[in-house]
């Protein structure tokens, strides 16, 4: 992981591989963003002009490299686009800074040290740049023989992530700046850990392995952890989780991770879908629809990361994470379409499609979470292809049993820079899940499939508990090229929203 420092050093004398500066889209061409005055001065005030000559416009995501001015210790200047220049006296905004820092950090793979001379108005900007650097520098190459053992390792041709980033313009002695850096580090490190879990191949990350990783992390961070294995799940009557895991040689698990603060007044429960591989089961997915299905545990990874981050930040709130882990496979012991499962809540479910498995494992975990009567429950799941069709691959859908709570979750997502959008839970879609045999079927109308899944989950939330459901099927896994601070593969979406929700709950501003 990249090491972050706050520095008051001046750019010219800095020993580094590169100096990163911001360039924005001005009314008459690119403009150099504040923070890079010393760099611009060393170019004789012509940096904007030089960048324009090189074809830079200041657009978001744009990266331009140029030789550093004479007299600089660092050999390279990297200019990153910040998008439109803001109105006078207002800042660039956290998300523009996060994205620019991320794009720069990604380009600087292989470098040992870079200084970031981006515009910093306040502590929130420091945090955003820090997060952007740590998230943008991420790469997953644990399975590549070309991966360098460490930064600067020339023996292999892979590039190690940027080793060190100094944030200029931030104040190393300022309490708020230091706190922002610490928060950014904890959140980004845990988010990157969620990405690692998502990217891990499913032959290595099965439910048992995931549970073991959670146990190790719990020990490290002083969390309480409880793992229900197949025997315990059978004893407890967790028919949903067992039914989904029945076809796999790797049995399912329900992991409960508890972070408790002595000063907590509220309790937030987080529930994550953790299908370590979704083949569809007997309702097998066709080729072309299963290559990325290792990502189907992204919800559980996000919950796991958020609980650990809450502990690292010492938030004054109790946070319980429930990881509903199973592998959805076809076999002679697999659940069949037509089987009826008796769920942990006591409800019976007719399984019409074994590929609608996420709602089954979540239903048991939601009911278990509800038994503790938390102030609110938020579940996170790569639940439906329908949500991807509705919102595309960068935005997650938010459903809830309470409009005000849904709005609060949406605002938290916006605040941290995670694209999300509110979706309804129309009651009329419930009758599509009526079953002639059981209390409910696991499938309903095809149209509005994401909302149907949300309505199913709602039936397993305890009376009177505020609940929101995040369907992250779109943004969980980036099949396209990297952008901003988002890499290819597992993205870690929802982690930052969950951490923000825990902070808001601690402050008494939620639930
Ligand atoms: N894990 C999938 C949803 C998914 C699709 C996630 C694409 C990420 C990318 C889920 O278990 C699933 O298969 N859902 C079905 C439900 C249907 C059978 C009612 C779907 O969306 O097609
Ligand atoms: Mn499925
Ligand atoms: Zn699934």
Vertex 142 angle, CA 383 and 258, to 5°: 50
Of the candidates 90, 92, 68, 91, the residue with the CA atom closest to the CA atom of residue 79: 68
Residue at 183 is within a domain: no
Judged against a pLDDT cut of 70, whether residue 152 lies above it is answered with: no
Classify strands 489-490 and 267-278 as parallel, antiparallel or unpaired.
unpaired
Query: What does the block give as tokens for 182?
Result: 């610490």
CA separation, residue 319 to residues 260, 313, 418 (Å): 7, 12, 21
Residue at 98 is within a domain: yes
Site residues for ligand 1, CB cut-off 6 Å: 278, 296, 353, 355-358, 382-386, 388, 443, 449, 473
**Cα of 356 from ligand 1 centre, angstroms:** 6
453 CA closest ligand 1 atom index? 19
H or E stretch covering 391: helix 385-391
**Cα of 290 from ligand 2 centre, angstroms:** 9
Query: What does the block give as tokens for 484?
Result: 């901003």
Of the candidates 281, 280, 277, the residue with the CA atom closest to the CA atom of residue 201: 277
How many folded domains does the chain comprise?
A: 2
Please write the tens of the pLDDT for every residue from 292-322.
999 999 999 999 999 999 999 999 999 999 9
Residues in the annotated binding site: 273, 278, 296, 355, 357
Domain membership of residue 17 as a residue range: 3-170
Vertex 493 angle, CA 489 and 495, to 5°: 130
442 CA closest ligand 1 atom index? 19
Please write the tens of the pLDDT for every residue from 243-259.
999 999 999 999 999 99
Residue at 264 is within a domain: yes
Residue at 177 is within a domain: no
What is the pLDDT, as a whole number, of residue 156?
59
Residue at 385 is within a domain: yes
Judged against a pLDDT cut of 90, whether residue 121 lies above it is answered with: yes
State the chain's mean pLDDT as an integer.
96
How far is Cα 507 from Cα 90, in angstroms, rounded to an integer? 27
166 and 193 share one domain:
no
Query: What does the block give as tokens for 507?
Result: 């402050």
How far is Cα 303 from Cα 313, in angstroms, rounded to an integer? 15
204 and 119 share one domain:
no
Among 142, 170, 198, the domain-final residue is 170
37 and 65 share one domain:
yes
What is the pLDDT, as a whole number, of residue 88?
84
195 and 122 share one domain:
no
The mean pLDDT of 52-64, rounded to a whole number, is 97
Query: What does the block give as tokens for 44?
Result: 């004789």
Residue at 415 is within a domain: yes
The mean pLDDT of 20-24, rounded to a whole number, is 98
How far is Cα 145 from Cα 5, in angstroms, rounded to an integer? 31
**Cα of 382 from ligand 2 centre, angstroms:** 9
289 CA closest ligand 1 atom index? 7
Give yes or no for a contact between 376 and 467, defined as CB atoms under 8 angstroms apart.
yes
How far is Cα 395 from Cα 491, in angstroms, rounded to an integer? 12
Among 112, 143, 170, the domain-final residue is 170
Name the pLDDT band for 149 (thresholds 50, 70, 90). low
Task: Count how many residues are written for the chain.
Answer: 511
Of the candidates 16, 62, 94, the residue with the CA atom closest to the CA atom of residue 500: 94
Rg, C-alpha atoms of the chain? 24
Please write the tens of the pLDDT for every residue from 24-56.
999 999 999 999 999 999 999 999 999 999 999
How far is Cα 126 from Cα 169, in angstroms, rounded to an integer? 9
From 355, 380, 479, give the residue whose CB has the most ligand 1 atoms within 8 Å, as the site to mutate. Answer: 355
- Kindly list the protein residues that place their beta carbon closer than 5 angstroms to ligand 3, a single-atom ion: 275, 278, 296, 358
Judged against a pLDDT cut of 70, whether residue 167 lies above it is answered with: yes
382 CA closest ligand 1 atom index? 6
The mean pLDDT of 62-77, rounded to a whole number, is 97
206 and 63 share one domain:
no
Percentage of residues of the chain with pLDDT beyond 70: 98
Residue 50 belongs to domain with CATH number: 3.40.220.10
Judged against a pLDDT cut of 80, whether residue 93 lies above it is answered with: yes
Residue 193 belongs to domain with CATH number: 3.40.630.10
476 CA closest ligand 1 atom index? 8
> Of the ranges 143-147, 200-204, 312-316, which one carries the lowest mean pLDDT score?
143-147
| CA-proximal residue: ligand 1, atom 8 (nearest) | 473
| CA-proximal residue: ligand 1, atom 13 (nearest) | 355
The mean pLDDT of 469-496, rounded to a whole number, is 98
Residue at 392 is within a domain: yes
What is the pLDDT, as a whole number, of residue 462?
98
Q: What are phi and psi of 422, to 5 degrees?
A: -70, 140
CA separation, residue 462 to residues 63, 161, 233, 317, 465 (Å): 50, 45, 20, 21, 6
290 and 397 share one domain:
yes
What is the pLDDT, as a whole number, of residue 146?
81
Give yes or no for a contact between 352 and 302, defined as CB atoms under 8 angstroms apart.
no
The alpha carbon of 52 is separated from its chain's Cα centroid by a whole number of angstroms, namely: 35
344 and 210 share one domain:
yes
Q: What is the DSSP string of 41-108?
A: HHTTT-HHHHHHHTT----TT-EEEEEPPTT-SSSEEEEEEEEEPPPTT----HHHHHHHHHHHHHHT
Positions marked catalytic: 285, 359
107 and 209 share one domain:
no
101 and 159 share one domain:
yes
From 296, 359, 384, 387, give the residue whose CB has the most ligand 1 atoms within 8 Å, as the site to mutate. Answer: 384
What is the pLDDT, as a whole number, of residue 510?
86
Among 170, 200, 215, the domain-final residue is 170
**Cα of 204 from ligand 2 centre, angstroms:** 20
Of the candidates 279, 270, 143, 138, the residue with the CA atom closest to the CA atom of residue 214: 270
124 and 203 share one domain:
no
- According to DSSP H, which parts of 292-374 are helical? 298-313, 358-371
Judged against a pLDDT cut of 60, whether residue 154 lies above it is answered with: no
Judged against a pLDDT cut of 80, whether residue 213 lies above it is answered with: yes
Judged against a pLDDT cut of 80, whether residue 153 lies above it is answered with: no
CA separation, residue 465 to residues 22, 352, 370, 372, 401 (Å): 46, 29, 8, 10, 9
Judged against a pLDDT cut of 90, whether residue 182 lies above it is answered with: yes
Put residue 346 in one of left, alpha, beta given phi > 0 → left and psi -120 to 50 → alpha.
left
How far is Cα 202 from Cα 93, in angstroms, rounded to an integer? 38
Q: What are phi and psi of 363, to 5 degrees?
A: -60, -45
103 and 242 share one domain:
no
**Cα of 32 from ligand 2 centre, angstroms:** 48
| CA-proximal residue: ligand 1, atom 19 (nearest) | 356
Residue at 184 is within a domain: no
What is the pLDDT, as a whole number, of residue 1?
87
From 286, 290, 443, 473, give the residue whose CB has the most ligand 1 atoms within 8 Å, as the site to mutate. Answer: 473
Bridge partners, 167 (sequence order):
6, 116
The mean pLDDT of 176-186, rounded to a whole number, is 97
69 and 194 share one domain:
no
Name the pLDDT band for 469 (thresholds 50, 70, 90). very high
Name the pLDDT band for 8 (thresholds 50, 70, 90). very high
What is the pLDDT, as a whole number, of residue 511?
63
Give yes or no for a contact between 238 and 231, defined as CB atoms under 8 angstroms apart.
no
**Cα of 129 from ligand 3 centre, angstroms:** 34
* Ligand that comes closest to the CA of residue 289: 1
Residues in the annotated binding site for Mn(2+): 273, 278, 296, 355, 357
């Amino acid at each position: 992981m990249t090491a972050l420092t706050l520095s008051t050093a001046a750019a010219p004398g800095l020993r580094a591989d590169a100096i990163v500066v911001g360039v924005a889209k001005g009314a008459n061409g690119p403009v150099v963003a504040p923070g890079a005055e010393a760099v611009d001065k060393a170019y004789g005030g012509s940096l904007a002009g030089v960048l324009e000559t090189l074809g830079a416009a200041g657009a978001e995501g744009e990266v331009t490299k140029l030789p550093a001015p004479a007299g600089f210790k660092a050999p390279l200047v990297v200019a990153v686009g910040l998008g439109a220049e803001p109105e006078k006296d207002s800042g660039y905004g956290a998300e523009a800074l996060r994205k620019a820092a991320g794009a720069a950090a990604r380009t600087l793979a292989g470098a040992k040290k870079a200084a970031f001379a981006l515009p910093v108005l306040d502590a929130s900007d420091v945090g955003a740049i820090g997060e952007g650097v740590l998230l943008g520098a991420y790469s997953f190459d644990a399975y590549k023989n070309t991966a360098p053992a460490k930064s600067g390792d020339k023996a292999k041709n892979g590039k190690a992530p940027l080793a060190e980033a100094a944030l200029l313009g931030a104040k190393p002695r300022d309490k708020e700046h230091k706190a922002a850096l610490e928060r950014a580090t904890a959140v980004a490190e845990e988010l990157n850990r969620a990405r690692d879990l998502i990217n891990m191949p499913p032959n290595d990350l099965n439910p048992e392995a995931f549970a073991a990783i959670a146990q190790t992390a719990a020990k490290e961070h002083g969390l309480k952890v409880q793992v229900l294995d197949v025997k315990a799940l059978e004893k407890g009557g967790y028919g949903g989780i067992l039914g989904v895991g029945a076809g796999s040689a790797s049995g399912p698990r329900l992991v409960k991770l508890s972070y408790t603060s002595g000063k907590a007044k509220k309790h937030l429960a987080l529930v994550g879908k953790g299908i370590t591989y979704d083949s569809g089961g007997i309702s097998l997915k066709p080729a072309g629809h299963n290559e990325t299905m290792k990502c189907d545990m992204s919800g559980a990874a996000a919950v796991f990361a958020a609980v650990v981050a809450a502990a690292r930040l010492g938030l004054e709130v109790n946070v319980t994470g429930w990881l509903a882990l199973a592998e959805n496979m076809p076999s002679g012991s697999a659940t069949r379409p037509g089987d009826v499962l008796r769920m942990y809540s006591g409800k019976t479910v007719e399984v019409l499609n074994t590929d609608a498995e996420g709602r089954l494992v979540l239903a048991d975990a939601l009911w278990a979470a509800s038994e503790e009567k938390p102030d609110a429950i938020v579940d996170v799941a790569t639940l439906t292809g329908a949500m991807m069709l509705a919102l595309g691959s960068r935005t997650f859908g938010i459903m809830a049993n309470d409009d005000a709570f849904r709005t609060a979750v949406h605002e938290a997502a916006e605040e941290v820079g995670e694209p999300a959008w509110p979706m309804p839970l129309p009651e009329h879609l419930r009758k599509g899940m009526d079953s002639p045999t059981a209390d409910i079927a696991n499938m309903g109308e095809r149209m509005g499939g994401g909302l149907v899944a949300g309505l199913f989950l709602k039936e397993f939330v305890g009376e009177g508990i505020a609940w929101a459901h995040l369907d992250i099927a779109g943004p969980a896994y980036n099949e396209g090229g990297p952008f901003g601070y988002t890499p290819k593969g597992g993205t870690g979406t929802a982690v930052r929203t969950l951490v923000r929700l825990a902070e808001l709950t601690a402050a008494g501003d939620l639930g």
